[in-house]
Chains A and B, each alone.
Chain A
């Protein structure tokens, strides 16, 4: 922890970065995001199993980007990112939302995080994304801290649920999701917390014509949740923030992961893993399957 604080404060003192986006402890089992511009404030930076937020969501915000232009020469933004958050950053770079040279990635060898604040870190409370995590080491970084850790092995309940839904009949699936989407209160927390939902103006905010009804009625809820899932299919890096942020506990991760599985199956593509290849939905191949088309 001390090395992280020292490194961050040095970066700020040297004016190598305009701000450090990091985690600050609130209480024993709770952290919050913090945007630090003063070197003295780095003494509260932490990194542990309670750093849940995906901080890359801040990188696309205009007010954060404006920090880089506060002095004469443009400065970088430093971000502390878990290896899974680095995938989101990679996706953002691929989609031209940020530039690799503008970001200073401080990453860690990750040992998993809890699924929610206030819980004791153990096998049972492990976040579902960590259970099937294949990237404990970041794919890109400017500075790496921590020793390699092991994530405790746990049952992959999410995958079991997906398989269970897959084996249901169409009507049962519709009933299942109808019941889940019925809970939606259209707070758009899933959108606010998603690093890849960076549209300046979301389609749900467009009311003339009104494509997605804004009342939290089943019909609009269906449209919203389908459109959200579709806009993220083959883009979602699986950080699981939408599911965590959802106040109504809608299993959004189920849909996101299903689409990720499909992308891997049909195109051997996993979002946010490499800067060398283009995004899946942003590119095409003339040899793609024509199976769907009459």
Chain B
């Protein structure tokens, strides 16, 4: 792949109450940030299951961002506290398994921090760009499509629908 032309794909799981609204603010304030990140809105950072992240990697994401309300600001009082403890372990586990730490990042962005949202997106895009494509997982994907062509066709049709 031509490194010049390659653009990373980043999936961002953002909480409805803070980060998603913060992203909205970044947009309405016309702050520029890289367009590599696809936002996926969830109700709380505590509701992001680790399999969402693994699925994102499986489907070709080069990096994943999980973002929610600042501690003490959670719409559901304690969702992000639970998430914080859980992500600490998940991050360490992925590191031990051999997935670069920068591939999975976390942040707290409140609804009023449009500028911070743009900064975080710029930072993660820069980090992933310097790491390059997530070849290790992508290789497993290509092997998978050779062995299971039917599965690939069905998932392709889903992808087309999404596009």
Q: Do A and B bind each other?
A: yes
Q: B96 touching A165 by the CB < 8 A rule?
A: yes
Q: Which of B6-14, B24-32, B82-90 contacts A (4 or more CB under 8 A)?
A: B82-90
Q: B58 touching A294 by the CB < 8 A rule?
A: no
* Residues of B close to A234: CB separation below 8 A: 89
| CB of A215 closer than 8 Å to a CB of B | yes
* Residues of A close to B106: CB separation below 8 A: 292-294
| CB of A187 closer than 8 Å to a CB of B | no
Q: A259 touching B89 by the CB < 8 A rule?
A: yes
| CB of B72 closer than 8 Å to a CB of A | yes
A 264-293 contacts with B by CB, 8 A: 266, 280-281, 284-286, 288-290, 292-293
| CB of A218 closer than 8 Å to a CB of B | yes
Report which residue of A168, A176, A215, A218 has the largest number of chain B beta carbons within 10 angstroms of its beta carbon: A218
Q: A218 touching B71 by the CB < 8 A rule?
A: no
Please report whether the interface of chain B is mostly helix, strand, loop or mixed according to DSSP: helix
Interface size class, chain A:
35 or more
Q: A226 touching B50 by the CB < 8 A rule?
A: yes
A 212-266 contacts with B by CB, 8 A: 212-213, 215, 217-219, 222-223, 226-227, 229-230, 233-234, 255, 258-259, 262-263, 266
* Residues of B close to A280: CB separation below 8 A: 85
A286–B91 Cα distance when bound, in Å, is 19
B 68-107 contacts with A by CB, 8 A: 71-72, 78, 81-82, 84-100, 105-107
| CB of A205 closer than 8 Å to a CB of B | no
| CB of B112 closer than 8 Å to a CB of A | no
Q: Which of B82, B98, B148 contacts A215 (CB 8 A)?
A: B148
Q: B147 touching A217 by the CB < 8 A rule?
A: yes
| CB of B140 closer than 8 Å to a CB of A | yes
Interface size class, chain B:
35 or more
Q: A172 touching B98 by the CB < 8 A rule?
A: yes
A106–B89 Cα distance when bound, in Å, is 34
| CB of A170 closer than 8 Å to a CB of B | yes
* Residues of B close to A219: CB separation below 8 A: 58, 137, 140-141, 143-144
Q: Which of A173, A217, A230 contacts B143 (CB 8 A)?
A: A217
Task: Considering the complex, give the chain A residue whose CB is closest to the CB of B79.
Answer: A284
* Residues of A close to B50: CB separation below 8 A: 226-227, 230
* Residues of A close to B49: CB separation below 8 A: 211
Q: B98 touching A174 by the CB < 8 A rule?
A: yes
| CB of A203 closer than 8 Å to a CB of B | yes
Contacts beyond the supplied A176-B98, A284-B81: 7 A-B pairs with Cβ under 8 Å: A174-B97, A178-B98, A213-B151, A223-B55, A227-B54, A255-B93, A293-B108
Q: Which residues of A contact B (CB under 8 A)?
A: 165-166, 168, 170-178, 203, 211-213, 215, 217-219, 222-223, 226-227, 229-230, 233-234, 255, 258-259, 262-263, 266, 280-281, 284-286, 288-290, 292-294
- What are 17 contact pairs spanning A and B, CB under 8 A? A165-B96, A174-B97, A177-B98, A178-B136, A219-B140, A219-B141, A226-B50, A226-B54, A229-B93, A259-B89, A266-B88, A280-B85, A285-B81, A286-B81, A288-B88, A290-B71, A293-B84
